[in-house]
Chain A
Amino acid sequence: MILEAREVRKFYGEFCALDGVSLAVGEGEFVSIIGPNGAGKSTLLNVLTGTTRPSAGTVRFKGREVAGIGPVARARLGMARSFQLIQIFPELTVLETLQAAVASRLGHGTRLWRSLAGDRPVQEGALEAAELFRLADKRHVLASTLPQGDKKLLDVASAFALRPEIILLDEPTSGVSTADKHEIMEILVAAARRIGCQAIIQVEHDMDIVFGYSHRIIALHQGRVLADATPAAIKENTLVVDTMIGRAKR
């Protein structure tokens, strides 16, 4: 198991956002977390990525306790994430954004006297990431002027540029037109394979995406795991279909 959570609870005051969630993600898996609004999906993602410390329970990444370790330590361990709301650097170009990620991964960030332009590992790593995400021809474009779909791609691409062993994506296709959604997913899955990323966890609302790409689906409801099964088994699970998928269709 790469990532394992056991009996995770998270309270916000009196409110229980996560109520004893356990899950495990293994090598080569693409796992989707689904659930209605307020089910605790984002909280779970924040706990899994060490952003939020759980009130109880453990989170282990490669056998190491990572609960509440914070984003910097998490990134260094080989776990990357993207956010539901697009997070970019508005005044940086596409290439600069990716260079920052690569420089951080290689530990070149504290090199004061080395020229960025002359830092070949950083330059090559950033260009490779740009090509992987089909952003190479836009590499000199300012991030803030990119179209919405490309901003989302850049956000995800910069997380991939960290060459993580596992990546957690909070709604990777939200705010993107339906036409662009599948393209983003195809690029993402291909990129994961190329860089040797061992597992992907995503939180997603779009059921086409969820059923189209996942090996396993974890359904969350009121802070608890309602079901944890293959897409085929989830489709057969009337409880899950009624509480979330069916309701969305009605």
Chain B
Amino acid sequence: MRRAGVLALVALAIAALPAAAPTYQVTLMLPFMAYGVVLLGMNLLFGYTGLVSFGHALFVGVGAYTAAVLTTHLHIRHLELILPAAALAAAIVAAPVGALCVRYVKIYFGMLTLAFGMVFYTFLLKFYRLTGGDEGMRMLRPYLLGSGWEGFSKTAYLVGPYYYFSLAVLALATLLMWRIVGSPFGLCLRTIRDNPLKAESLGVSVPRYRWYAFMISAVYAGVGGALLAPPTGNVDPTLAYWTHSGNLVFMILLGGFGHFWGPLLGAFAFIYLQDLVMSVVPYWRLVFGALLALIVIAAPGGLMGLLARRRPAEIARA
């Protein structure tokens, strides 16, 4: 009950934020919500299945570029159509990539996902006529609920209708993920994370389930990537670059992969912390590097681990 109360309060605070907070702070919530969707999916792979992907920016990139291509080239502006298309595109790319990657575990899985991510990055960079090269592509303002919101300035659009649309998508993604991890399927993923040999012995097909988890996480990354594009109005290859994948892993570690809400907290903390640090010192990566080391050494359970006060050793083994 206490948990439900906290959740309701947080949801209420997020919903009330545009009315209460300065516009700039509200716009920072947009990448948080987009990353929230990405990380929910990524943690199904990381926290629940035990596979750390270092190439998930690939699917973020696929989602964002799908959105950009649809709005600028194909004149499809409805976000209600763009998001499923981004999910589909990510799934199409993930199907063969995942089938190959899930045959490997630990560092090999991580490196293989990284390699595929870099292949896609290079594709975006070199196929200039198709992708715009390093300049990327424009992402036109998408229609929401059938309306172009023409009377709204860019900022008013973003902190108004787009904010609430993103929030609705995040809420839906969270709800679906909550169902998935609480299903028999979610339990089977956790058996694979804990002991693949034993899981197979109980009849759980390890590669097949890993592939399912990979596909779901890629679809989430695609949707999140598409949500990430409108606030900047532009997509470029750095979305698929390996440091972006690194940031995703960092966010999960920051929030705590051993907990359902960890990745969301991680995305939130990352965005606001990055903004804060960047406004004080120019070397934000230096500060974040030190922070990452501190988390791994002192709080492997991340922020959520500290909040939930689970023993770190318990989570480190997860």
Q: Interface on A for B, CB 8 Å cutoff?
A: 70-72, 75-76, 80-81, 83, 87-92, 96-97, 99-101, 103-105, 108-117, 119, 122, 144, 155, 158-159, 161-162
Asked if residues B190 and A81 are in contact (CB atoms below 8 Å), the reply is: no
Tell me, in angstroms, the Cα distance from A158 to B200 when the chains sit together.
Answer: 12
CB distance from A78 to the nearest CB of B (A): 10
> Would you call the interface of chain B mostly helix, strand, loop, or mixed?
helix
- Among A97, A113, A144, the residue within 8 A (CB) of B179 is A113
Within 8 A of A (CB), among B137-188: 179-180, 182-188
CB distance from B156 to the nearest CB of A (A): 38
Our count of residue pairs bridging A and B at CB distance below 8 angstroms stands at 106
17 A-B pairs whose Cβ atoms sit less than 8 Å apart in the complex: A71-B203, A72-B204, A81-B201, A83-B197, A89-B194, A89-B198, A91-B314, A91-B317, A96-B187, A97-B191, A100-B184, A103-B188, A113-B179, A144-B317, A155-B198, A161-B202, A162-B202
Q: Which of A104, A119, A155 has the most CB of B within 10 A?
A: A104
Residue of A with least CB distance to B205: A72
Asked if residues B317 and A104 are in contact (CB atoms below 8 Å), the reply is: no
| Residues on the B chain within 8 Å of A89, using CB | 190-191, 194-195, 198-199
Q: Which of B199, B202, B212 has the most CB of A within 10 A?
A: B202
Q: Which of B183, B199, B318 has the most CB of A within 10 A?
A: B183
Would you call B288 an interface residue if the criterion is a C-beta within 8 Å of the partner chain's C-beta atoms? no
Within 8 A of A (CB), among B189-227: 190-191, 193-195, 197-205, 209, 212
| Residues on the A chain within 8 Å of B212, using CB | 110
| Residues on the A chain within 8 Å of B191, using CB | 89, 92, 97, 100
- Among B186, B198, B314, the residue within 8 A (CB) of A116 is B186
Residue of B with least CB distance to A101: B202
Asked if residues B314 and A158 are in contact (CB atoms below 8 Å), the reply is: no
Q: Which of A76, A90, A109, A161 has the most CB of B within 10 A?
A: A109
| Residues on the B chain within 8 Å of A110, using CB | 185, 212
Q: How large is the interface on B (under 10, 10 to 19, 20 to 34, 35 or more residues)?
A: 20 to 34
Tell me, in angstroms, the Cα distance from A89 to B188 when the chains sit together.
Answer: 11
Residue of A with least CB distance to B181: A116
Residue of B with least CB distance to A106: B184
Q: Which of A81, A88, A115, A162 has the most CB of B within 10 A?
A: A115
CB distance from B10 to the nearest CB of A (A): 23
Residue of A with least CB distance to B50: A91
Tell me, in angstroms, the Cα distance from A206 to B270 when the chains sit together.
Answer: 57
CB distance from B177 to the nearest CB of A (A): 10
- Among A75, A109, A117, A119, the residue within 8 A (CB) of B201 is A75
Asked if residues A104 and B203 are in contact (CB atoms below 8 Å), the reply is: yes
Q: Which of B180, B187, B205 has the most CB of A within 10 A?
A: B187
CB distance from A172 to the nearest CB of B (A): 14
